[in-house]
């Protein structure tokens, strides 16, 4: 079974290729997947199933055109992995561009993601 860091690095590689099904294959059937943010952010939600996470990705990609996405630092804490990164994107509804750092906190159990939390500067999003 792959270790937690390998799982997370593969998830980012899949996302970078635009392979959302590849990301979904690395997620438990039942998951705690959250984006912390205001209700005005289309993808600020809590997902409980892999199908919910699939809708999250659809909402994200419908809302934004991501122009840069960079996981920059990986912190290994056993079954938890913390990743610090950067994103630049265009809000499709307004044409507004934004840049922000983000933090992702993962929990990996039995070789698949069971929990994911995202924090970023939602004010930068606009």
Query: Which pTM was predicted?
Result: 0.93
Q: What is the mean pLDDT of the chain?
A: 95
How many domains does one find in the chain?
Answer: 1
Q: Is residue 1 pLDDT above 80, yes or no?
A: no
Q: What is the DSSP string of 50-99?
A: HHHHHHHHHHHHHHEEEEEEEEEEEEEETTEEEEEEEEEEEETTT--EEE
Q: Dihedral of the CA atoms 16, 113, 104, 124 (nearest 10)?
A: 70
Domain that holds residue 115: 4-36+44-125
Here the CATH number for the domain that contains residue 61 is 3.10.450.50
* Tens-digit pLDDT profile for residues 27-56: 999 999 999 989 888 899 999 999 999 999
């Amino acid at each position: 079974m792959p270790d937690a860091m390998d799982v997370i690095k593969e998830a980012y590689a899949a996302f970078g290729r635009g392979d959302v099904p590849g990301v979904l294959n690395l997620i438990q059937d039942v998951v705690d997947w959250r984006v912390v943010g205001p209700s005005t952010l289309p993808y600020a939600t809590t997902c409980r199933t892999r199908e919910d996470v699939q809708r999250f990705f659809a909402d994200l990609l419908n809302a934004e055109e991501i122009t840069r996405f960079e996981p920059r630092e990986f912190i290994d804490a056993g079954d938890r992995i913390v990743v610090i990164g950067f994103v630049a994107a265009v809000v499709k509804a307004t044409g507004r561009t934004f840049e922000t750092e983000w933090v992702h906190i993962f929990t990996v159990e039995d070789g698949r993601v069971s929990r994911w939390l995202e924090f970023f500067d939602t004010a930068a999003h606009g």
